Structure 1
């Protein structure tokens, strides 16, 4: 933590997570308590991350927040809920006679940047609130269980507080103290697992997740059945597939759960359409590819947006990336079509192309990001990485 002229300053990074057993719907909208438990994979921050700097000073006159270089309303209830909870924990930890120079009444300045599209169905709020809570906790010297605090900002943010494979427990207590995240396995558990993010659109969703969830809870009988009868069994099965590194079981269940989640969106009234024609073309392509090989080699999942997340084992990635290039040829950014971890080029057998590649749709996939499971939030010690300067104002923009 840096301290300058009575100002304390901390910078952290936090990851995106992708749910393979989905969370959709709250039983308590204020505490953000889910109607069902969920399970996710934390993605590596080398490719997808939020960076957040939090500062507190006796000289600040109000809380202020900058997101990707633009100042936004710092009074928003979820941000204030996280700040309130972190301060409560700090007060509890310090006791009445703690001599800490960082007064808990000081206002805070927060700057946050994503290196990926915001509000496009890529779990930006999960990474954002996990990063906010991590930075605030470091700022105030708070340790221990923080996923419950992150959940107050965004439900899925509690899963981004941990690396690897993470389960968010629904919990039973009305105060939400047992609705927390738990790591099932670290990111090193399945070293061959890879993730391809197919960015179809970077635009903001037409129906935000919060509004969409509430509408589904109010109107979808399928959602209620899913939460009570389907998800509990799927969670235990998915945990077993992960523990055994069983890609066939993991992949099939991932796709089935994604399909059912979007079925609940269609069962909502009026229906919610997060997938588009390109999303559906990617789904069809994955099934043709698996059918050609006679087993599950790739598995898709879609959150609340049109962008696809494909899971595959490392030795499958070069061939499937080549299939993606043939199916969705880059319109103009050929050199930037594949980003993230490197992928060796391969030649495709003609029989595979004939069986799998339909009519090419140039430019439909903007780019493909290649990544893998990764760790939870990280503290940045390099002062050059701070997003706020010594005056507590942004020093650079996204």
Structure 2
């Protein structure tokens, strides 16, 4: 909620969801999120930003691009005579504080959620309205998909550089309430190869990537959208896994090759296929973005058993922290038949923890002023 004191100090806090590609690039919003507070004041000497408690370089080109675009849109609205534009705020500096409730730069689309939240919050502070997904892409290409909730597709633009591409919601977060997500955090460490630089190398060197973009993804997008509309889990799951496999095949086809998956990631893939084979149906699906962490899709009725399967084959450390986070999952007992059918040796320390979640909404303003990450002095609160 904006706080205002004679137009000298304005503060807004918003949250935006993580997006994970099922067809890369058709997205699914989750209740993993970034929260961002933006304060604007005549007393600030310079623009500043803090991420997860640490001050970062505000002069990063992608950050500057987002700030510049939002300020340009606000000035345009003012020149067009829009009455609700904070004209004083356009000449003021901003302080930005952002936190994630999930690992940052570990292959879970943290930059997408971060830039979507940043752009959305800046737009609320400066009175900018309209299509913001194009602006969010100035920070992270996939950020445009975090501008909506539920299921979202990324629509290619007409310009060759893709700068005019934008996102479009396929279905809202309420469309498929039975669909659940389990994020198996294999590593919270920063990935060695960033998504942007990795994709640039793939574009330059991978023949498979061109074939994928021209011939595979368009058809799969149509199939995935139909599966989502119909809530067809089997089609949804199999398309998701096949597309994840091909994405990482493209990473291997890159020169030099990019290795986002590790031994634990491959064991998770094996586990999912053995679990499905035991039941002779596709009950669980995996996908991996640019990192080793697995995102598991399943239906509500399978969540308890599959969480127990993960705990059995990737037992948590007895002296570790909380292994299951997010939405509650009741414990259950696995049958000996299922354990034998999967037939894998348990791997201690393979999975750091599980995040239980589901489809979430798009960006929104946090109405409770106590949730602001910045204090009345414009600096991060200690708890942020």
In the superposition, the TM-score normalised over structure 1's length comes to 0.93
Q: Is the 8 A contact 2:137 2:163 kept in 1?
A: no
Q: 2:303 aligns with which of 301, 304, 317?
A: 317
Q: Per the alignment, in what secondary structure is the counterpart of residue 16 of structure 1?
A: strand
Q: Per the alignment, in what secondary structure is the counterpart of residue 197 of structure 1?
A: strand
Q: Describe the shift of the 1:113–1:21 C-alpha distance in structure 2 as closer, same or farther (beyond 3 A).
A: same
Q: 2:147 aligns with which of 150, 158, 161?
A: 161
Identify the residue that residue 59 of structure 1 maps to in structure 2. Answer: 43
User: Which blocks of at least 5 consecutive residues in structure 2 are unaligned?
Assistant: none
Cα deviations across residues 317-347 of structure 1 (Å, max 9, x unaligned)?
A: 1111111111001112577211111112222
Q: How far apart in 1 are the matches of 2:245 and 2:118? A: 32
CA deviation after TM superposition for structure 1 residue 273, in Å: 0.3
CA deviation after TM superposition for structure 1 residue 105, in Å: 2.2
Aligned counterparts, 1:141-152, within 5 A = 141-152=127-138
Identify the residue that residue 238 of structure 2 maps to in structure 1. Answer: 252
User: How many corresponding residue pairs?
Assistant: 380
Q: Is the 8 A contact 1:54 1:108 kept in 2?
A: yes
CA deviation after TM superposition for structure 1 residue 144, in Å: 1.5
Q: How far apart in 1 are the matches of 2:93 and 2:161? A: 27
Say if 2:90 is the partner of 1:104.
yes
Q: Per the alignment, in what secondary structure is the counterpart of residue 200 of structure 2?
A: helix
Q: Per the alignment, in what secondary structure is the counterpart of residue 104 of structure 1?
A: helix
Q: 2:26 aligns with which of 39, 42, 47?
A: 39
Aligned counterparts, 1:188-203, within 5 A = 188-203=174-189
Cα deviations across residues 159-211 of structure 1 (Å, max 9, x unaligned)?
A: 01100000011111357564100000000100100000000100000111111
Q: Is the 8 A contact 1:163 1:183 kept in 2?
A: yes
Say if 2:70 is the partner of 1:68.
no
CA deviation after TM superposition for structure 1 residue 57, in Å: 1.4
- RMSD value, Cα: 1.5
Q: How far apart in 1 are the matches of 2:141 and 2:16? A: 15
Identify the residue that residue 15 of structure 1 maps to in structure 2. Answer: 17
Q: Is the 8 A contact 1:8 1:102 kept in 2?
A: no
User: Which blocks of at least 5 consecutive residues in structure 1 are unaligned?
Assistant: 23-37
CA deviation after TM superposition for structure 1 residue 4, in Å: 3.4
CA deviation after TM superposition for structure 1 residue 266, in Å: 0.4
Q: How far apart in 2 are the matches of 1:97 and 1:233? A: 45
